[in-house]
Structure formats: structure tokens, C-alpha cells
Amino acid sequence: MTDNAQVFHINTRGIQAVREPVKLSEAAEKRAQEIIPLYPQSRSAVMPLLYIAQEELGHVTQQAVEWVAARLSMPQVQVWEVATFYTMFHKQPVGRYHIQVCRTLPCALRGARTISEFVHQRFGLRPGEVTQDGMWSFEEVECLGSCGTAPMCQINDAFFENLTEQRLGEILGRIEKEQPDLKLSTVRDSLGAGLAGHPRSEIR
Amino acid sequence: MSEGNAQQRPDLVNITIDGKQIQVPKGTNLIEAAKRAEIDIPHYCYHPHLSIAGNCRMCQVSVKGQPKLTIACNTGAAEGMEVSTHHTSKEVADAQAGTLEFILINHPLDCTVCDQAGHCKLQDYHFEYNARPSRFLEEKVQKVKAVPLGPTVMLDGERCIMCTRCIRFCDEVTKTSELGMLNRGDQSVIAVSPGKELNNPLSGSVVDLCPVGALTHRTWRFNTRIWFTKQSDAICPGCSTGCNVKVAQRDNAVVQVKARRNDHVNKEWLCDEGRYGFGRFLSEQRISGCYANLAGGQGHKAVTVAEVVQALKGAMRTLTVLMAPELLTEEYYLLKQIFLRASSLGRAVVAYRGRSLTPVEQVLMSPDRAANFRAAQVTGLVGEDPEREYDEVLGKIRRKEIEHVLILGERAIAPADLDDALIEGLAAARVSVGVLTEGDTPLSQRLSYVVPGRSILEKSGLLINRAHRMQYTQQAVEFPDGTMPEWRFLALLGEACGFKMLPSAPQQMSDRDLTRWYLSVEPVIASLGLSIASIKNGGVQLPAAPHTVGAGTTTSETQGAHSAL
């Protein structure tokens, strides 16, 4: 598979600055106002706020960065610095279900490549791509810390471990069948040996 | 941290650098301490006027007792410290060579097309501290080249060595925070937020700061190789801050301007208006000889400077003089001497126009465009409110109340003030003489006499900045044949009026001779015992009170002036 380092290429000619200040949903604004006072300096809340914006807007867009920068009184470029440093802030659109297959050593030894190939076969996706209907996207990531249950993948916030091609096929089928009413944790609990109490965002 | 010589005496500690024992204030970082021992420690990310970053790892030194090498920029001097630089420690030399090798891994082989070649810190340090062939066999990382970060600065992403000087400058000095470093690892790149650009009034300074050719000037892109230029240490004549600059000229055109470090005046910064606007002090159409304009707009006829001086001599008593605000201090002084002796009702004004500045501009710029108005004040020619006096005289000229006027310098009248009423007023004067540089202008065509002058960039001499600091500016470009500096004209005028102010014939003296004469003859300055060399070393702070005493006082200055007779 190709290297899919999510690198944010600067191209100031293409992107226009968003003029009108953006407001996210009430739940998002409320959550942001709860998070900001937790830190002595408001700019320390840049990462939780970027996560909130990403969940609302799909990925970190110029609009998301302006939203975060406005609430934290930070220069926008410094928000971009944080957003581009971390791969889990997506700078390109991702699907509704973003499959992240671990490719580091223990998973690789136990067949991560087969899992990646399976995803490629099923959806026609290479790393970094999104399906036409916007439902699925795929990425190969570094170690997710679940080496004892390799090979595994993460879909949005949930781990799906001890994978085989067949088990992954079942998981994906169940997701396809039950969405949009799907709560991802339901699928994980019944089909995957997931981590109980796995932390996930409150916004859903 | 501290650079020593503070108002109060800080604790001094004894340290040894490469065997040399020196005393420095406690806590001085080792790069500054080594400078006092005349040892250069190479560095990229360190800058004395920015915060410490510590990311380049080039300034590593070995401190006795510490198991690992430490960076000199962030190590404060402590009592008894023994420091070894690359001169005395192979470990340090190897570390510096290794650091350079790492930096050069992804650095593009752009020297042949890079503007920084010849004044590039990466080239210089490679020759001094590494000079080994590359061992790198892989593909170098590619990034976007030639990104315009703003109207003045071009970024080459690949050449950047991530020292973050530019980012810290925008954060700490201009406080505009336009720049940031995106991505991480070998994908790191400098960028502005989409939709924004680097456009603060000091934006060109990041190009001075950049040790490599990652940030370059857009206006001067590819215009010349630096080794084809001749460079002078001048003072920017744009405003009364008096920023220290290095002007590079090639074929008599200003091709690059760099800021020089002066901790008392401009740190190492320069504003865009001063830097890119240097050319505005040079005229396109030069005047080549003295001439007198014929009545009725019938052109002009050539005259000698002696004739001009004769015409003016008869008008001395009530002479009005308009002075450019960037005349040399020596020139203001000469005019004052003439006033004292020959012009009891004479009046001089300097073209001072105040301006309001934004907070970012106030970091460096002064609220005027008058580089040397302080000299006009301390010589006693103008008072506390030069703008009001200037306006008064302009009003008188427009009402045709002025009979005799002498205009010293092209910028003795601010461009915005040069309206038809003023030109008519000047034309209506009985005798009007202008020492100008630009020919074929309404002004040069309506005065009685015009003398070909020189611009401030073509002179060497002393300038006093707004904070009363006297600095020396070196001539930056060659002057055309036939021109004369204002001081020579004033000296000839003085001779025609019967007094010889200068020790030799004006035509024989150079700008340097004039400066030496001034330093020995002006009472307050002479008492300080200054030489050009001592002034060139960062300037000299003067007392704020006016120097030259008024008319009617016999002092050593009048005696000195007559001594050469």
C-alpha cells in the first residue's frame, strides 16, 4: 500500500478565508464552553476544541480552525500548527466511517496487510481515499496499542480486534445494514472484543 | 539574558572559555560570553533579540563537569565554569559537523540559483565546521518552492532549516503572529494561515533573520549576486529612528538593503518603507551644472557657482532657508555659522511633517519622515515645533512675502506641499536659489538659480536621531560629476560673504574632512573627544539640550573658524 502520511500541503492560493464567523451546534458550543475553563490558559484547550469542530464539520476545515481560534483568542496559524501536527485531525474529508488499520510490527506479523487488502477489495479504497457516497474511508495508521489482539483496526473511535477477513466482513456488513441508526458501540460489543468503557466523544 | 553594561552593575562571574579567562555578568548566555572573549560560536536559531528556541543544536559546547554537550545559547554563565568550544574539544567539533550534516540531509542543492549564496550561514558554517562531502544517498524530501508569503517575502519550503527565527519575530517583535510551522518531522514547513499573508510593516526583516535562502525579498529576487555589490554602512534616511543599514550597490543602483545590528537604535530590524524605499532618495533626471532660469519661461543658461553665490550674497540679511530634513549635521552647523555672521534677520526651517503610526509601526518607526531634524534643533536653527515653523514659512511664501530664499536639498519641501501657489511664491521672490537633484521639475524651472546637489545617499557624515544619538552614515552610491554637496555650497557662500569657515578650500575637502573638522570645532561635540571610528561603533548618545549658542557669543568656535586664515 502507498504511504499515506497525512501531510498538509500549503497552498494559500486555493483556500479562501471564511468571512462570516461560524457557529457550530448548540451542543458543540456548550461543550466548548465547559472545556475552556478547565485550563489555566485558554489556548491549552485547542486540541479538545479541534476535536469538537472536527466531529461537527467532518474534518478540520478552515472554518473549523477559525471557530477554534475565535473562541481561544489564538492566531489561526497556531491552530493550524496543532491540527497539522497530529494525524488524527483530518485535513481532508473522511467517510462517515473511517477505517484505520494498524500496520505496525505485531499487527503486521499477524496479517495486517491482509486486512488492508480486504478493505481495498471491498470498497475499492486506497489509503486516504473516500467512497463516492461518503460513507467509508480508509487509512493505515501506526500502533494503536492493542498488540495483544492483533490484527486489529479502529473505526471512528472504536477498536475492532482479533480480526480475520471474515470477522471484519461481518462487522462491515452489520454497520452497512444498521446505519444511519447505528450506535457504533453496539456493533463493537456484540461482534468485537472491544474495550469496555472506551472513551469516546459525547457529541453524537 | 543580560547583555552587560546595564544601568546597575550586575554580579560578575569568572569563566574560562577555551582557556581564556573572562568576567561576564552572571547568567550571560555562553554565545554572548564567548563573543567577549572574541570567540565565535556558530548558531542558527539563536538571536540576541528573540526568545531562545534551542532547536538548531549548532551552538553546542562542552562544559567541564557536565556529561553531555550543552547548547551555549541557553546556558547561563556561572562562577568557575570551564567551557570548550570546537577550538579545544574534538567532541564539540564532531557534534557541530554532525549537526550540519543532519541539516544538509534534506537541504536542496540550490546554491546556484539561490539568492542567499555568498551570504548564507549554511554555506559559511559548512566551510568552517564540516567541509566533508555528503554521505546522503536517499531522495530528498520535496516541498513547495517559491511560495509568496506576502507582498514582500518569498518562501522556499525546501531550503528552510526550521530555526523558527521568522516565527518568533512575528510573535514577539511585531506581535502579528502571521507565521507558523505546519506538519512535523521532515515534512515541517513554514506557512501562513490560508487567506492570510505576511504583510506587517516590518515584514522584510524576516529575510534578514533567515540564515539561509528560504526567505528572500520579492522585489530584489534574482537581481544580483551579493559578491558583485559594494556595501556601505549607512543610516537609513527615512525617518528619525536612524536604523543602521548595510546598503549594497551595483552599478550605482541600490540592489539590496540589510539591517545592521545596533542594540540602542534598531536592534537588527528595518521597516519595509525604509528598506524598499531607499531608491526614493535618488533622482532620475540629474542636474549636471549650475544654471539660471531665464525670465518668461525661456529655458535656462549655464552659470558658475561663483555667480550664484554672488547673487545670493546680496540677499543674506533677510534670507529664508528651507532645509531638507536629512541634511548632514555638519551642514546644519555650517548654515548656523553663516546665520550668526551674515544673516541677522535670516530664518531657517526644516521640512518636518508629523505622521501617525499604527502600533506595529511604532515598534521601530518614528512619527516623522525627517531623519536629521534633531541636528537642526541642536544647532539652534529650529525650535521645539519644527512643523509649525515650516508651515509658517510656507504660508509666507505662498502669500509672496518672501524676497530671498535658499532651498537646500530636493526634499526641503515635502512633495505634498509643492503646490502651484508655493511655486508661484518662490518664483515671485527676488532671488531664489535651490541646491537640487531632480531636473525638469516645476521647482527647478522657476527658481532664479539652481545648483546641482547630491542626495543623502551620496554623502558621508553625521546624523542625529530622534533620541539624540549621533551616528555616522557612509556614502552608499557614487555621485554624478558636477554635483556638489550642500556643505560645499554653504562654505563657498561663507567665503563670498567674507569669512572662511573651513580649514581648507571647500573644493579640496572631502566629506570625511568635513566630519573631522566638525568633530573638532563644535564645542559640545569637541568636548566629548570623538573620532569617526568611535562614532561608527554603534553611535554616540548626546545630551538632549541644544548645543550651538546663539548669536553674540564669542566662543572657541569663532576663533577656530578664523584660524585657517
Q: Which residues, other chains included, contact B338 with Cβ-Cβ below 8 Å and sequence gap of 6+?
A: B316, B490, B493, B494, B497, B501
Q: Where in chain A is the domain with CATH 3.40.30.10?
A: 97-191
Q: Cβ contacts (< 8 Å) between B144 and chain A: which residues?
A: 9-11
**How does pLDDT run across B101-114, given as a tens digit for each residue?**
999 999 999 999 99
What CATH class has A1-87? mainly alpha
Q: How many CB atoms lie within 10 A of CB A65?
A: 27
Whether residue B321 sits in one domain with residue B268 = no
Whether residue B303 sits in one domain with residue B274 = no
Out of B102, B122, B148, a domain closes at: B102
Whether residue B432 sits in one domain with residue B523 = yes
Looking at residue B397, its pLDDT comes to: 95
Whether residue B335 sits in one domain with residue B235 = no
Say if B157 is an interface residue toward chain A (CB within 8 Å): yes
Predicted TM-score (pTM) of this structure: 0.89
* Rounded Cα gap, residues B9 and B27, in angstroms: 13
For residue B230, being part of any structural domain is answered with yes
Out of B75, B102, B129, a domain closes at: B102
For residue B122, being part of any structural domain is answered with no
Fold observed for domain A97-191? Glutaredoxin (3.40.30)
Nearest to A8 among B157, B183, B196 (CB): B183
Tally of structural domains, chain B? 3
Residue B202 is part of which domain span?
A: 138-279
CA distances from A177 to A123, A170, B142, B308 (A): 15, 10, 44, 101
Whether residue B238 sits in one domain with residue B332 = no
Helix (H) or strand (E) holding B47: none
CA-based nearest residue to B148, from A198, A85, A12, A19: A12
Residue B5, burial from CB neighbour count under 10 angstroms (0-12, 13-18, 19+): exposed
CB-CB under 8 Å, B189 with A12: no
For residue B511, being part of any structural domain is answered with yes
Q: Where in chain A is the domain with CATH 1.10.10?
A: 1-87
Looking at residue B274, its pLDDT comes to: 94
Looking at residue B9, its pLDDT comes to: 59
Q: Cβ contacts (< 8 Å) between A12 and chain B: which residues?
A: 147, 191-192, 194-195, 197
Residue A147, burial from CB neighbour count under 10 angstroms (0-12, 13-18, 19+): middle
Looking at residue A21, its pLDDT comes to: 74
CA-based nearest residue to B179, from B190, B187, B188: B190
Whether residue B295 sits in one domain with residue B275 = no
Question: And the C-alpha cell for B59?
Answer: 551552538
**How does pLDDT run across A178-203, given as a tens digit for each residue?**
776 666 655 555 554 433 343 443 22
Question: DSSP string of A48-75?
Answer: HHHHHHHHHHSS--HHHHHHHHHHHT--
Please report, for the domain that includes residue B219, its CATH number.
3.30.70.20
**How does pLDDT run across B352-384, given as a tens digit for each residue?**
999 999 999 999 999 999 999 999 999 999 999
CB-CB under 8 Å, A17 with B195: yes
DSSP label of B169: I
Question: And the C-alpha cell for B500?
Answer: 572662511
CB-CB under 8 Å, A77 with B193: yes
With b meaning 16 or more CB within 10 Å and e meaning fewer, what string describes B8-21? Answer: eebeebebebbeee
For residue A3, is pLDDT > 90?
no
Whether residue B251 sits in one domain with residue B156 = yes
For residue B366, being part of any structural domain is answered with no
User: Which of B158, B178, B193 should we substitute to test contact with A (largest number of A Cβ atoms within 10 Å)?
Assistant: B193
Do A202 and A157 form a contact (C-beta atoms < 8 A)? no
Whether residue B542 sits in one domain with residue B456 = yes
**How does pLDDT run across B243-285, given as a tens digit for each residue?**
999 999 999 999 999 999 999 999 999 999 999 999 899 988 8
Q: Model confidence at B547, in pLDDT bands (50, 70, 90)?
A: low
Residue A71 has phi, psi (to 5 degrees) of -75, -25
Taking one residue from A and the other from B, the number of pairs with CB-CB distance under 8 angstroms is 63
Out of B102, B124, B159, a domain closes at: B102
Whether residue B256 sits in one domain with residue B342 = no
SS3 call for B423: helix
Residue of B nearest to A6 (CA): B183
Average pLDDT over residues B139-147: 93
Whether residue B55 sits in one domain with residue B88 = yes
Looking at residue B94, its pLDDT comes to: 96
Looking at residue A185, its pLDDT comes to: 58
* Rounded Cα gap, residues B391 and B379, in angstroms: 20
Name B192's bridge partners: B179
Looking at residue B5, its pLDDT comes to: 46
Q: Cβ contacts (< 8 Å) between A9 and chain B: which residues?
A: 144
CA-based nearest residue to B212, from B313, B361, B111, B284: B111
DSSP label of B438: B
**How does pLDDT run across A77-98, given as a tens digit for each residue?**
999 999 999 988 999 998 888 9
Residues found in chain A: 204
Q: Model confidence at B553, in pLDDT bands (50, 70, 90)?
A: very low
Please report, for the domain that includes residue B32, its CATH number.
3.10.20.740
Residues found in chain B: 565
Among B160-164, B288-292, B485-489, B547-551, whose mean pLDDT is lowest? B547-551
* Rounded Cα gap, residues B48 and B50, in angstroms: 6
